Structure 1
């Protein structure tokens, strides 16, 4: 039997380069004292781009690169004030256009002999383009998809959630957000099924825009949606998403406000509120009875 031959010099480096490019990795090196950031994108041949006074000019020159909701987190991470940031919204295009994608973060702090953090180095990788397609790899029968919106229905969502929780998802903190529009059936009677179906498709796209590509959204029927959020780091993120969705469908919004939609939202958390899809859904639906769209109900929902 022929013995294994050691790969030619540089083989390992070439494999690493291919992996970095496939994952859409961006490396960063931030000099805290001089406020200088070096970025290098694997898909651009790792050519470094230098940003002088990056944090100082973040609200002017570089404001289009980072989503407003991620600015505070990313600055704290670059300055070595935290290593707990897991995901941020970025637009890494040469000329940012506000088309943000979720990037996962890994960071290392470099200290001087006194223990003071001098630099932070790390990597960002594009979850949506590389890992976000993972959900598409699960085979779903036609019976597991909603005929109106094309997304998963209740059976499809149950399958996706149970499959995920049976794997490495069992060790993560996950969440299920239930979103219902109680007067959809009434609108269907007033305006017709075709008009209502088109509205449901628009609602589906609007709600989906608040979540990552790897999260799973489903239409359970009659204007009831559910979103399973994987590997959720903080409950505050879910509260923020719920407020944003309520605002989108509020009376002052020009896109949906004129329809009089009654948007009710509640969240359940894995594993605190349940360890299966049905337990999480039942808990979320019970909490929806507390959500009346006013401040008192929102407070109860947060404390529940």
Structure 2
């Protein structure tokens, strides 16, 4: 038998959840005031390195470290994660004199990390420590120390790593983004790091990759009858037809919207010329433009189709919302 709802218990749950979010938000906000020359020194140290960044930690700090290494690797800084305990049992061989080790430990006194620090430094690698205690053994051994101290944990017992891990995550993101900017890492670089996902599709897909071409593009000449234009629209199924001159330059477009206006005006479809009722000077896009630019243009202009033209204004393709959806650009 299910118990009756307890409004007081529900209120307590919500109050505690809100308090957790407030404490963690305050912890992250306080980090901004703690940043200083040491953060800049950490960025310079990594940029000057000819090797890779190795991130290490144990427990909750290890989980943050894995995410940190993944973020660095995807934003232009070659990096990987090594568990501190595994490093002491052979994985230390992955670290070279040209590398930078970033060690995460809120207490700064984790035995596993302290055990490998002397060996790492003996090899000539540089050490950046992220801790919550500037006086800890790990902080003192580091070439650069980043202070991720928080006033309190969000745990009511002030024991479970909560605000401290959130702060470490935010601080690592700040470092990764600072490095991204310093390296001039751009959208194309990001796309090359994410070719298989939605970001890659959005950043790497060009109009030429998704447009319809050849006979699939509806078109009639400017001297065509409106009836012929309607037949072409029906054949291609794009809800429009391009109107071109003798040199295939685009002079207009006739869409479903134009058709409704023609019906409302009592137009004679058997005798009217399409040039008399078409929309002149339609928006076009170059085939080498990104497909997301086509999507943005359609949304901004509130149109459903777009003609593709070369630099001379000649018709070479067309696309609509459905084509962009099939390509998973939108």
- Greater share of helix residues, 1 or 2? 2
Q: TM-score, normalised by structure 2?
A: 0.21
Larger strand percent: 1
Task: Look at both structures and tell me which one has the larger radius of gyration over its CA atoms.
Answer: 2
